[in-house]
Amino acid sequence: MHPLAAVPLATVPADLLAAAQAAFDHAYAPYSGFRVGAALRGADGGIDAGANVENASYGLSRCAEQSAIQALATRGERAFTEVVVVADADPPATPCGACRQVLAEFGPTATVWLVSPHGAWRTSVDVLLPAGFVLLR
């Protein structure tokens, strides 16, 4: 089964989409030119956003999803239920392999919404990362 289900844009949570789009607008991606914004809904209902922040030393660049997870954890939250990722890509930008592992730490079954000017899609962290690495049960 294909891991991404196309959905109407109207089904994407509007508050998370707005936060992810604002982060997308603030992305720092002068090297790749590929901006990404992400916004998570914490288990407490709070929203944490992140953008990709690149660096002249390319390997130090940080993905949007990981920036958002850092914000979530920094305010003491340890779980999220859903995440919206915004990028201008067709096919849509799915979280990279490293981001899937980082998302799974705090949202192993979270819903993942992917949005681009070309459409919206729904999937989940466990579908994107089956059998991810786990130490704590």
Exposure b/e, 82-94, CB count within 10 A at least 16 = b: bbbbbbebeebbb
Alpha carbon distance 39, 31 (integer Å): 23
Cβ 112 to ligand THU shortest distance, Å: 11
Among 12, 93, 110, 129, binds ligand THU (CB under 6 A): 93
Binding mask 38-57 for ligand THU (x = CB under 6 A): --------------x-x---
Count of chain residues binding ligand THU (CB under 6 A): 14
Among 36, 39, 71, 102, binds ligand THU (CB under 6 A): 36
Q: Does 79 bind ligand THU (CB under 6 A)?
A: no
Taking the CA atoms of residue 64, residue 65, residue 69 and residue 71 in that order, the dihedral angle to the nearest 10 degrees is: 20
Q: Does 71 bind ligand THU (CB under 6 A)?
A: no
Estimate to the nearest angstrom the gap between the alpha carbon of 116 and the chain centroid: 13
